[in-house]
Amino acid sequence: MFGRRHTPARTDEHLLLMRAAGLLVARTLAVVSAAVADGVTTLALDRLAEEHIRDHGGRPSFPEVPGYRHTLCTSVNEQIVHGIPGERVLRPGDLLSIDCGAIVADWHGDAAVTVVVGGETAACTEDLALSRATEESLWAGIGALRVGDRLYAVGEAVEASIEAAASRDRRDYGIIEEYVGHTIGREMHLDPQIPNYGVRERGPIVRSGYTGAIEPMITLGSPQTEVLADDWTVVTVDGSRAAHWEHTVAVRDEGLWVLTALDGGAARLAAMGMPFAPVGAD
């Protein structure tokens, strides 16, 4: 994790392939999110995701992680990340994080969203605030990616965003430290990793063509975690609920390209005053 002076970088041709993978992940998450409803099982969502990815020229990447065989991770309420799809029936007000990865032509995309089952009317105010704060911190982290800057500026920006949200929302939020973002390319999890909090080291210098997955995981309580007996599901020790948002992002001399956003990040980046810089037309 430490000691590397520059990040890896991709060619424009490889970024176009990663966009194909990223867009497939974005569309799959849109299809799955639309199917989230009272009475649906997390396994049904997983099957929908697998079918959508295979029908559109890709393959799910999570089954390539040794010991894991599903297309999605579905983490409900106090589950933070790596929840295994199964017979659990979703109920109104459940806070569901959906993490999805796909491969197209050997290149990976990885993204996550958090939704409330039954929508905003079924949600607790604090869960909506948590999810909003987490998504905002993801975009703050994305906005800290700049060619020539240090990679760990991302974690500082995520942390500052969460602190600002905590004071606005008058809540304490916990930033998960044991699970972090990562470099991504022809494999899903590559070094260097990307912490979601400020660290003493400043990290490697970001090169044009760098591709990273930024993925803050935030709780309504303590950031302490434990892994359930299934060896996968990560939960909060205090039982507080958690949210998880993730995007795969390409950093270019000209600006940013959010490979797992349907619009490539154009709208959010414009609102942040950041240049939107796809390869070719997007």
- CB closer to Mg ion out of 81 and 235: 81
Number of residues that bind Mg ion (CB under 5 A): 6
> Is the CA virtual torsion 130, 134, 139, 140 positive or negative?
positive
Residue 110 interacts with Mg ion (CB under 5 A): yes or no: yes
From the CB of 129, what's the least distance to Mg ion, in Å? 23
135 lies in the site for Mg ion, by CB under 5 A:
no
Q: Which of 50, 94, 99, 127 binds Mg ion (CB under 5 A)?
A: 99
Give the dihedral sign, CA 14/15/19/21. positive
CA nearest neighbour of 188 among 6, 60, 76: 60
Q: Fill in the per-residue mask, 169 to 208: x = in contact with Mg ion (CB under 5 A), - = not in contact.
A: ----------------------------------------
Q: Which of 96, 142, 213, 218 binds Mg ion (CB under 5 A)?
A: 213
CB of 172 to Mg ion, least distance (A): 25
113 touching Mg ion, by CB under 5 A? no
Binding residues (CB under 5 A) for Mg ion: these are 99, 110, 112, 213, 215, 246
